[in-house]
A = this chain, B = another copy of it.
Amino acid sequence: METTLTINQLSRRSGVAASALRYYEERGLIQSERRGSGHRRFTRATLRRLAFIVFAQRLGMSLAEIGAELDKLPTDHVPKGADWSLLSGPWSTRIDERIAELERLKTGLAQCISCGCLSLEFCRLVNPHDKAGALGPGPHYWLGDQSSNDD
């Protein structure tokens, strides 16, 4: 039994579209060996790598950031539990920060917006101290640009 996976097998197992897998490979997030024909073959370890990618995306990380994290994994052997733990450790913190922000949003939404005390205060609520901490979809150029708030 071959222990490697074709791109469609990997796609089915991971839930990630084959086109996305090719894209990830192009970006250097995953690797494959090629058959003489040029067809890709992925190891099963790629599944865990993909899981990590999917997780990280849900946390709002860009593929560039995720790639940087994955680069920290050892290359001399297939990453084990301990190797992954090195990556996931700081993430608990990241997740906790995100949760804390959501709590703030929840409070802010209930109190600040609805009661009418709001003017430019909401920026503090949304982005208290981290200028570059833009999570969520789309560009957020408005974040970290409080310097012009002179009114």
Residues of A participating in the B interface, judged by any CB pair closer than 8 Å: 9, 12-17, 20, 47-48, 51-52, 54-55, 57-60, 62, 80-82, 84-85, 88, 91-92, 95-96, 98-99, 101-103, 105-106, 108-110, 112-116, 118-120, 122-123, 126, 135-138, 140-142, 145-146, 148-151
Q: Are B109 and A91 in contact (CB under 8 A)?
A: yes
Q: In the complex the two chains form, is B54's CB within 8 Å of A126's CB?
A: yes
Interfacial chain B residues near A13, Cβ < 8 Å: 119-120, 149, 151
Please tell me if the beta carbons of A118 and B151 are within 8 angstroms of each other in the complex. no
Query: Can you name the residue of chain B whose Cβ is closest to the Cβ of A57?
Result: B136
User: By the criterion CB–CB under 8 Å, are B17 and A101 in contact?
Assistant: no
Whether A51 lies near B122 (C-beta < 8 A) is yes
Interface centre among A9, A20, A151 (most CB of B within 10 A): A151
A151 to B14 CA separation, bound complex (whole angstroms): 10
Could you say how many copies of this chain the assembly holds?
2
**Bound complex: CA A20 to CA B137 (Å):** 15
Which residue from B58, B85, B119 sits with its C-beta under 8 Å from A136?
B58
Give 27 pairs: A residue, B residue, CB < 8 Å, sorted on A.
A9-B151, A13-B149, A14-B123, A15-B120, A17-B142, A17-B145, A47-B118, A47-B119, A48-B113, A48-B118, A51-B112, A51-B118, A51-B122, A52-B113, A54-B123, A55-B108, A57-B136, A57-B140, A58-B105, A60-B137, A81-B114, A81-B116, A85-B110, A88-B114, A92-B106, A95-B106, A135-B136
